[in-house]
Amino acid sequence: MSTSTVRELPAVAPAVTAELVAALSPRLRKRLDAGITKLADRPVVRDGDTVRITVDDEGSELELHAPGGVVADAAAIRCGCLLAPDCLHRAAAASAAPVADASADTASTEGADGTAGVGAVEAAGQPAPLPGVREIPVPDESATAPQLAAAHAVFEAVAAVLDAGTDGSGAVLQAELLRAAHTARLAGLPRAAAAAVSVVTGVRAARAADPAFRLTELVGAVSEALFVAHRVPHATGAELTGLRGTVRQPYTPDGSLRLYGLFSEPVLTASGYAGAVTWTADAEGRLYTVSDVAPGGTGRAVGAADRAVRIGDTALTHRELARAGLAVSGATVSPTGRLGAGAGVRAVRASGVGWRAEPLVRLWAVPVAEQVGRALDGGHELLFLEVTAVGAVREAAGDCLLADCGGVPLRLTAAHDHPELPHRDNLRLLAAARGSRLRVVARLVAAPQARAQLLATEHPMRAGSRVDVGLDRLQHADLPVPESPPSAAPLAPAAPVHVVRTPDEAPLHLLRRRIEQAASGGRRVLAFPGDSAADVHRLHRHGLGTAGDILDGLLAAAAERSRDAFGRLLPADTGHFARAWLTAARYTDEVDRVLCAAAWGG
């Protein structure tokens, strides 16, 4: 199904999709993927909370009733064809629609019980837990029987998807994984449930050739789901608490706060949620966020910046708060720094300050290596950097901004590639402002090179002004005038494209490439690796003996097939291959952390 049609459909709860697919006959299950493809060319009409799709030439309509933007019950999907309710159309529509985040509908509001949901806004990153928060001792307990069963179901379902790859993971395999995610959520494993849903979302984006799909993100989702499901049966105490995760975070009173706006960024998730998050800081440099995330698409991600923030009676919009200040009384704050919006919270507009004035200037005074170390150790991933624009560097995913950060060659990439968001266009223009020295805010990307996603920057021409890269759109007139005669081209010349050559470095990509190949093409891609001995020897030669052994084990697990007493091949052991793949993925993640710290001078 085309990505445009998918965006018009409301989000559907995982349990609904699993229920509808399970109800299909074996014959209809085989036709499910073809049925999803046929819906791509059918007209979609939205009328309030109801979405209608004309499913055949006779005018039969399929209705999805989504109060609040989410289809939460199988009965809310009704079809007017002759075979309804046992037709293919209901399951096809549910399988094509975005997967609803069970907690995202409360992501930006505080509940009456003093808690708030952990929803789509988490994708935008959150501050580290605030200092001074007392940790409650966790009893040395083990997972319950329902949690053990749910973890096993998630592991088996993800292993089946990994065995098949994105091309082979059709709607039936996706539904099995959604069923496992629903079981995990009911058993009290929201972290495993969220990871499983992320895998389904990534697989669907890959199969639909969505331009926003990133293979590295799918690899991360598969790794997270397998890791949590694998560790739950063996964990106790604090580790088990972390593996279980939380659906709702407690909001604790924090008295009065004087906050200064830093920047705003749009939020747009593949699961059908959109909005904006505004980052602020207090006088001590602690970070707080104000979020507005709800079901919606690109229009909401862009428009949310001009909506009033949901705190107290203030009329400030997110765009205004990013440059102003906020005085809050009766504040409630989550452990990650999100401000609550309960009835007792009062907030009024206050004056803001520039990035080069107190108290915000102290954010840029922290050494870069220390900021990177904090992010890699589980703190917030924001980096406050002073850079000099060098030009553009060409990569497979598109050109990115090459900058010098205190002698460290830094690649600044787009936080989002959607064409209606200005991230990529702003990066191209900033690359033309060669020699401009700017303070920026970026989000760390753990990679062997210094890399970060650009979120906000000082204006190249207007002192004291700043640009929210995901919301504000730069023009050529905003760039410094090139030093050339008036007869030269009236617009700033295109920035030169640099091809950065690095010295012979540890060839960890030999292992990472196999990990990504398996996630994309499935186990069979690695079952006949050809001459892999050279890759293993090269890893050993560069001192990565463990990586070489892991690669050897991964390829052996992919090719391993047993036979029965009559010499017939038995089904592959998907669990064994998934564990070998997980070992490789976790190893490369840890090495990337070490190389990332070294690249930044840590």
Range of the domain at 218: 145-234
The tokens for 354 are 């520039």
18 close to 175: Cβ distance less than 8 angstroms: yes
User: What is the pLDDT at residue 252?
Assistant: 84
Domain boundary among 320, 350, 380: 350
pTM attached to this predicted model: 0.83
Residues of the chain where predicted confidence (pLDDT) is lower than 70: 1-7, 102-140, 271-272, 482-506, 529-531
> Are 344 and 419 in a shared domain?
no
Alpha carbon 142 to its chain's center: 30
| Widest pairwise Cα distance in the chain | 85
396 close to 298: Cβ distance less than 8 angstroms: no
Q: Would 45 be classed as within a structural domain?
A: yes
Q: In the block, which residue shows the tokens 């997270």?
A: 224
User: What is the pLDDT at residue 287?
Assistant: 95
> Are 473 and 378 in a shared domain?
yes
Residue (of 428, 437, 436) closest to 493 by Cα position: 428
User: What is the pLDDT at residue 115?
Assistant: 34
DSSP 430-475: HHHSTT-EEEEEEEE--SSS-EEEEEEEE-SSSTT-EEETTT----
The residues that bridge with 277 in the sheet, in sequence order, are: 265, 291
> Are 425 and 318 in a shared domain?
no
Torsions phi, psi for 338 (to 5 deg) = -80, 130
User: What is the pLDDT at residue 530?
Assistant: 65
User: What is the pLDDT at residue 417?
Assistant: 84
pLDDT tens sequence across 2-53: 555 555 788 899 999 999 999 999 999 999 999 998 887 788 888 888 999 9
407 φ/ψ sector (left φ>0, alpha ψ -120 to 50, else beta): left
Number of domains in the chain: 5
User: What is the pLDDT at residue 418?
Assistant: 85
158 close to 145: Cβ distance less than 8 angstroms: no
> Are 285 and 432 in a shared domain?
no
Q: Would 138 be classed as within a structural domain?
A: no
Alpha carbon distance 539, 548 (integer Å):
5
Q: Would 245 be classed as within a structural domain?
A: no
User: What is the pLDDT at residue 123?
Assistant: 36
Burial environment of residue 287 by CB neighbours within 10 A (0 to 12, 13 to 18, 19 or more): buried
CATH label of the domain that carries residue 300: 2.40.50
Residues 6+ apart with CB under 8 A from 519: 162, 165, 166, 215, 218, 219, 222
User: What is the pLDDT at residue 297?
Assistant: 79
Dihedral of CA 303/307/311/316: which sign? positive
> Are 370 and 475 in a shared domain?
yes
Domain boundary among 61, 96, 131: 96
Burial environment of residue 343 by CB neighbours within 10 A (0 to 12, 13 to 18, 19 or more): exposed
> Are 81 and 12 in a shared domain?
yes
Q: Would 130 be classed as within a structural domain?
A: no
Q: Strands 61-65, 44-47: parallel, antiparallel or unpaired by DSSP?
A: unpaired
261 close to 352: Cβ distance less than 8 angstroms: yes
91 close to 20: Cβ distance less than 8 angstroms: yes
Q: Would 466 be classed as within a structural domain?
A: yes
User: What is the pLDDT at residue 342?
Assistant: 80
Alpha carbon distance 546, 115 (integer Å):
44
